[in-house]
Amino acid sequence: MTVTATESGTPENGASRAAGTDAPGAGRPAPSGGPFAPPRLAERARALADNPEEWIHRVRLDPQGRWYERVHQDADHEIWLISWLPGQSTGFHDHGGSAGAFAVALGALEEHRVRDHRAVGAGQVRSFGPDYVHDVRNTSDAPAVSVHVYAPPLSTMRRYDLDADGELVRLAAESADDW
Ligand SMILES: [Fe+2]
């Protein structure tokens, strides 16, 4: 595919921001089938991750926090590039009503869920449905770059922390107006 557009912002901002609206998820529910079902999003993410010549010139590394750029958005889905220096992470968050997928193009990441975590190396992809909570981290000693696809485009995200019992505690919500 061709990278068609660019816009700065963040779908997975690790910085503390003022709470946005507490609106429910995306305006439209994530599709359970069809071209924007999670397996298709995974294919889309992997296809772009496998062709870094289309986007590598955009990528920057930011020691202040993850660098990110939206490279495509339409009514059905959006695509982001994210770079991660060692130690950079998202914190626990959901994606509102959007389904999504991310593929690691360069380097290696870890996906943490409440009770487990897994390595996601270059060439690997993870996909998920609405209301999925995870924390993605670069625990390696080298930079990483990943491609993220969301359908419908992200409209709200909630941030979470873990309490002393290891249970999720809901923190602020962010809406698309915040990024
Ligand atoms: Fe995420």
Rounded to the nearest whole angstrom, what is the distance from the C-alpha of residue 32 to the centroid of ligand 1?
18
- Confirm if 68 and 82 have CB atoms less than 8 A apart: yes
Rounded to the nearest whole angstrom, what is the distance from the C-alpha of residue 27 to the centroid of ligand 1?
18
Rounded to the nearest whole angstrom, what is the distance from the C-alpha of residue 101 to the centroid of ligand 1?
8
Question: Residue 112 annotated as binding?
Answer: no
Rounded to the nearest whole angstrom, what is the distance from the C-alpha of residue 13 to the centroid of ligand 1?
9
Which of 82, 121, 80 has the alpha carbon at shortest distance from 104? 121
Task: Go through the chain and tell me how many residues it has.
Answer: 179
Taken in order of first residue, the domains within the chain and their CATH numbers are 3-7+31-161 (2.60.120.10)
What three-state secondary structure class fits 52? Answer: helix
Rounded to the nearest whole angstrom, what is the distance from the C-alpha of residue 28 to the centroid of ligand 1?
19
Residue listed under structure tokens 């220096």: 85
pLDDT for the residue numbered 23 = 33
CA-to-CA distance for 85 and 100, rounded, in angstroms? 22
Is 32 buried (19+), middle (13-18) or exposed (0-12) by CB count in 10 A? exposed
Sequential pLDDT tens for the chain (179 residues)? 445 444 444 556 544 333 333 333 344 566 667 778 999 999 999 999 999 999 999 999 999 999 999 999 999 999 999 999 999 999 999 999 999 999 999 999 999 999 999 999 999 999 999 989 999 999 999 999 999 999 999 999 999 999 999 999 999 898 887 76
**135-137: strand order across its sheet:** 117-121, 108-112, 135-137
Question: Residue 134 annotated as binding?
Answer: yes
User: What is this structure's pTM?
Assistant: 0.84
Rounded to the nearest whole angstrom, what is the distance from the C-alpha of residue 71 to the centroid of ligand 1?
17
For residues 89, 94, 99, 100, the Cα torsion angle rounded to the nearest 10 degrees is 0
